[in-house]
Every structure is written in C-alpha cells, then in structure tokens.
Copies of this chain bind each other. A is one copy, B any other.
Amino acid sequence: MALDDGWYTEEWAGQGSAISLKIARKLHEERSPYQTIEIYETESFGRLMTLDGLVMVTDRDNFIYHEMMSHPALFTHPHPRRVLIIGGGDCGTLREVLKHASVEVAEQVELDERVTRVAEQYFPQLCASNGDPRARFHFEDGIAFVARAAPDSYDVVIVDSTDPVGPAAGLFSEDFYRNCLRALAPQGLLVGQSESPLFHPDLIEAVHRAMRTAGFREVAMLHFPQCTYPSGWWSATLAAKDAKLPRFRETAAADRPFPTRYYNAAVHAGALAVPEYLRKSLA
C-alpha cells in the first residue's frame, strides 16, 4: 500500500526505511533563525514536533526518552546538585531532572529559543517545570557555553541533542567532551544521546572512543525503545569523570518519591545490558 497525503513521513537517512504518523492537522509552522519548526496533531501519537522534517518529540512516546536521558545519570551520581542540559529545547528532560530534590540548579542551554517557546505553547506538560526557581535558561550555542564554563561547575552534564549533523555535530566531538570534563566537578557524570544501536553502532563506538580519549575514566551505553526515532531503538552514553562508574543508587531509584512511566530500578539495570554484537567493540 502507499500512504496518502494525510501522513507525516520521516525517511531514516541512509537506512532505506521510514516511519509515518497519520496527521489530523498541522497546528504550527515557522522558520526560526536555525530551522523549520512544525507542530502536528496526529491521529494516535498526540502532538508531534518536527525540526527540519525530523521527529523530535510526540506526546505518546517521549516519556521513555526523557526519563532515560535523566534518571540513570542522576541516580548514578552520589548527590547531583548542579545539572547542565545542552539542547533539550522541548524541556522534557529538564522536567525529569527537576524531580530530583537534590538538584539545586538546572541550567539549560538551547541554541534555538523558538523551540522552547513553541514547546511551551504546544507541549505544556513537558514545560510544566519551566517556572521552577531552580531552572535557568540560556539560549545560545552549547558548545561555546561549555568551552567557557568554569571548571568544576556541574555534577551532571546531559547532552540532549539532535542528530550529529549541522550545528549538533560538534556535540559529538572529543573537543566538546574535553570541555565537559573540565566543567564537571569531581565525581561528575556526562550523558549524551547517542543514536540507534541498530542503525548507528559505529557512531556509538566513536562516542565511546572520543569520551575516553577526552579523559573520561569509564563509559557505558544505556539503551531503550523509542518508537518514533530511527529503528525504534535508541541509546545514551554515560561517562564518569574521575573514577569507575559507580553502581547506581538502586535503593534511591526504587524509593524515588516522584512518578515515572518507564524508568524504575530494574529498567535502569536492564538498560545497561550490552547486546552481544556490541560487547567487544564497546569493551
């Protein structure tokens, strides 16, 4: 069958595959200084935000990504107080970070302020914590921000970026990771989204190598389903500044005083299981 015009389709670049979501109507379209931002009402996935034609977030499945970009790192650090989010313009990761009572400040550095403003309008639940007094917003280039950050400024840095093309490519570089390392305090952790284990194993390996070469002492992959991202399977890469990655705070994760929908202590442990075909290359 061929799909009619009532579908939004993202072709998964270089992978001979595509996902389509049935659209009820387009709610918004604008050209920001950086990209085209579109919002759709879909038939079965709630609202959808795309940037330059690529799926960023849907109401239905974003909970997995946002929880897995935040809670594993925050339950691995012994006492995360200062968190830096690079990217993350839809504010879903920020919302999860701010669920942690130990967090005193969460700074978010998003290049495109319009992404956040549009998210505030169309994804109010993701932006529910934007008014939290611990949240600070910077709308500028994350690479430059980290390059000039004071040493030992953050306990956790989260790179919630778009794909490694265009302005986001630098967020996957050894130079950037070296600046993150410097900005992190002792016991600091870096976590970055690192694409699909099925489609992009070479990228995941390259991220591991670059983080190690930049000086991170130990690097680990987390993986989780993410229906509307390429292959439906996604990863994050977690790195420890100055020691082996500690075992995560399992009791605190199990007893967390806030709700989650995907994350729990067992899911956290399970997400660290490396598929056999990646074991050697990530060792």
For residue A279, which residue of chain B has the nearest CB?
Answer: B264
Q: 5 A-B residue contacts at CB 8 Å?
A: A17-B22, A19-B20, A225-B233, A262-B275, A264-B273
Is A227's CB within 8 Å of the partner chain B? yes
A273's contact among B5, B61, B267, by CB below 8 Å, is which? B267
Q: How far is the CA of A198 from the CA of B58 in the complex (A)?
A: 13
Residues of B within 8 A of A223 (CB): 225
Q: How far is the CA of A182 from the CA of B258 in the complex (A)?
A: 44
Q: How far is the CA of A11 from the CA of B36 in the complex (A)?
A: 27
Residues 1-38 of A, flagged 1 when their CB comes within 8 A of B and 0 if not, give: 11101010101001111111110000000000000000
- Segment among A41-49, A94-102, A104-112, A133-141 that sits at the interface with chain B: A41-49
Q: How far is the CB of A92 from chain B (nearest CB, A)?
A: 16
Identical subunits present: 2
Q: How far is the CB of A38 from chain B (nearest CB, A)?
A: 13
Residues of B within 8 A of A270 (CB): 269-273
Q: Which 6 pairs, one residue from A and one from B, show the smallest C-beta to C-beta distance?
A: A232-B232, A270-B270, A16-B44, A16-B43, A270-B273, A225-B233
Q: How far is the CA of A49 from the CA of B190 in the complex (A)?
A: 42
- How many A residues face the partner with a CB closer than 8 A? 49
A residues lining the B interface (CB < 8 Å): 1-3, 5, 7, 9, 11, 14-22, 42-45, 53, 60-61, 197-198, 223, 225-227, 231-233, 260-264, 266-267, 269-277, 279
Q: How far is the CA of A271 from the CA of B3 in the complex (A)?
A: 34
Q: How far is the CA of A53 from the CA of B42 in the complex (A)?
A: 24
User: B17–A20 contact, CB under 8 A?
Assistant: yes
User: A17–B9 contact, CB under 8 A?
Assistant: no
Residues of B within 8 A of A260 (CB): 276
User: A9–B16 contact, CB under 8 A?
Assistant: no
A233's contact among B21, B227, B276, by CB below 8 Å, is which? B227
For residue A265, which residue of chain B has the nearest CB?
Answer: B273
Q: How far is the CA of A20 from the CA of B8 in the complex (A)?
A: 12
A276's contact among B7, B43, B263, by CB below 8 Å, is which? B263
Q: How far is the CB of A228 from chain B (nearest CB, A)?
A: 8
User: A262–B276 contact, CB under 8 A?
Assistant: yes
User: B20–A9 contact, CB under 8 A?
Assistant: yes
Q: How far is the CB of A76 from chain B (nearest CB, A)?
A: 16
Residues of B within 8 A of A42 (CB): 16
A227's contact among B231, B267, B269, B272, by CB below 8 Å, is which? B231
Q: How far is the CB of A31 from chain B (nearest CB, A)?
A: 17
Q: How far is the CA of A24 from the CA of B215 in the complex (A)?
A: 45
